[in-house]
A = this chain, B = another copy of it.
């Protein structure tokens, strides 16, 4: 029995070492990221167990890879050689919902959707809505600073995190943040852990903000013959001070894939479809947005007549990824550019697709300038994989050249760690390394993620 296993058993933990179990737990939803060979898996059921496991790893200098539902798209939860996989998805209790302070206290393994479900009877919801909201955990959402469709109006996950309990690299347990609406006592440790992908500490409890459920939401779809027209519509909507609660774009490749998956009358000849929802004074807001879309050259604007129809429209957006999976293996890219350059970015992606001979469909959180180019590859064909990877990199390059970012919401993980130095300046990178060293001097927490 290895030293690690003995020590974990001695600490009262129950490590799994079955190779099939380890293999199944060694990857997340990222493509292109090779998994290492883990040494063991511990399914923690309490903060004390997380603390004990990390303390063992600190003692033996063994890497720890924290895991939730492993729905991440950047390889942050991917195994590295010799690591302990520390799965907190079993810590899945909602500890409290407070309707006056509008907060919930939850364990890290609680599913995103479960929080809104629990808050519903108080007329509240947990706003952030990553695409994975029904299957991803709040711990992972926080660790990756997850985005979603509502961000254009409601912001991203970190804005909804008030307080955290974190197990540090030493195994010590720390609380940070607050329960009050405001509080500025000391450095903002909460935000430092948000998006740190398990490299600075492991989240074992979170206090998250809840918000009133909007009374009504109305939805429209606008069809555009060119990406330029669609881009102009987005720019017009944002420059006019409109506040859509959702502003999504589905490109031609996705429209065709969706229609092939399940015919529903989508405009398969269009360059792009914009989906727009509004939930504040929505009737007036959508009338204004409809006019702005028409002014930008929309060939058709279609208002959902009821909630069911609106849901069907949004469902097509949520199915976009699955529709593309019918075409091959999907490499999901994620970049953000200044809003005004959306059309240029869409065209740039198709130029890259043509140049490398790969199919790429783009869905975009258009209101945020956040594009997800979904690149189709056939992994059994090395040439296809190489072409997909080249297009992937070219898209990152393009986003940086436009003053954008290599990741709008999926994170760096292993997938883009070599790209981080292309985005931030050397002084910034050195500061990031100093923070990592200050909090994890042995480098045992999720090594090789975020920082190369």
Chain A residues proximal to chain B, CB less than 8 Å: 98-102, 122-124, 144-145, 147, 151-152, 155-156, 158-159, 168, 172-176, 178-189, 191-192, 194-196, 200, 212-213, 235, 238-243, 280-281, 336-340, 365, 367-370, 403-412, 416, 420, 423-425, 427-429, 431-432, 434-439, 450-451
Contact B182 A425 (CB under 8 A): no
* Nearest CB in chain B: distance from A99 CB, A: 5
A182 contacts which of B187, B408, B424 (Cβ < 8 Å)?
A: B408
Residues of chain B lying within 8 A (CB to CB) of residue A122: 239
Contact A179 B338 (CB under 8 A): yes
Point out which of A187, A188, A242 has the most chain B C-beta atoms below 10 A from its C-beta: A187
Given A184-B144, A185-B423, are A174 and B438 neighbors across the interface (CB < 8 Å)?
no
Q: How far is the CA of A178 from the CA of B35 in the complex (A)?
A: 31
Residues of chain B lying within 8 A (CB to CB) of residue A439: 431, 434
Q: How far is the CA of A437 from the CA of B168 in the complex (A)?
A: 18
Given A179-B338, A180-B404, A192-B192, are A185 and B420 neighbors across the interface (CB < 8 Å)?
yes
Q: How far is the CA of A213 from the CA of B438 in the complex (A)?
A: 42
* Nearest CB in chain B: distance from A217 CB, A: 14
Contact A368 B405 (CB under 8 A): no
A428 contacts which of B175, B184, B432 (Cβ < 8 Å)?
A: B175
Residues of chain B lying within 8 A (CB to CB) of residue A213: 241
Contact B368 A427 (CB under 8 A): no
Given A123-B241, A338-B100, A450-B187, are A367 and B431 neighbors across the interface (CB < 8 Å)?
no
Given A123-B241, A189-B428, A428-B189, are A184 and B407 neighbors across the interface (CB < 8 Å)?
yes
Q: How far is the CA of A185 from the CA of B425 in the complex (A)?
A: 12
Q: How far is the CA of A404 from the CA of B180 in the complex (A)?
A: 6
Q: DSSP majority for the A interface? A: loop
Closest partner residue, chain B, to A441 (CB atom): B434
Contact B405 A188 (CB under 8 A): no
Contact A189 B431 (CB under 8 A): yes
Closest partner residue, chain B, to A434 (CB atom): B438
Q: How far is the CA of A403 from the CA of B178 in the complex (A)?
A: 8
Point out which of A185, A235, A412, A423 has the most chain B C-beta atoms below 10 A from its C-beta: A185
* Nearest CB in chain B: distance from A403 CB, A: 6
Query: When A and B form their complex, which 8 residue pairs have the shortest distance between CB atoms, in order from nearest?
Result: A212-B241, A191-B191, A438-B438, A181-B368, A183-B405, A180-B336, A174-B427, A182-B408
Q: How far is the CA of A387 from the CA of B413 in the complex (A)?
A: 55
Residues of chain B lying within 8 A (CB to CB) of residue A451: 186
Q: List 25 A-B contacts (CB under 8 A).
A: A101-B369, A102-B238, A122-B239, A124-B241, A174-B428, A176-B424, A179-B338, A180-B338, A180-B370, A180-B403, A182-B336, A182-B368, A182-B405, A182-B409, A183-B336, A183-B407, A183-B408, A184-B408, A184-B409, A184-B410, A185-B420, A186-B428, A187-B195, A188-B194, A213-B241
Closest partner residue, chain B, to A365 (CB atom): B182
Closest partner residue, chain B, to A152 (CB atom): B181
Q: How far is the CA of A396 from the CA of B411 in the complex (A)?
A: 39
Contact B182 A432 (CB under 8 A): no
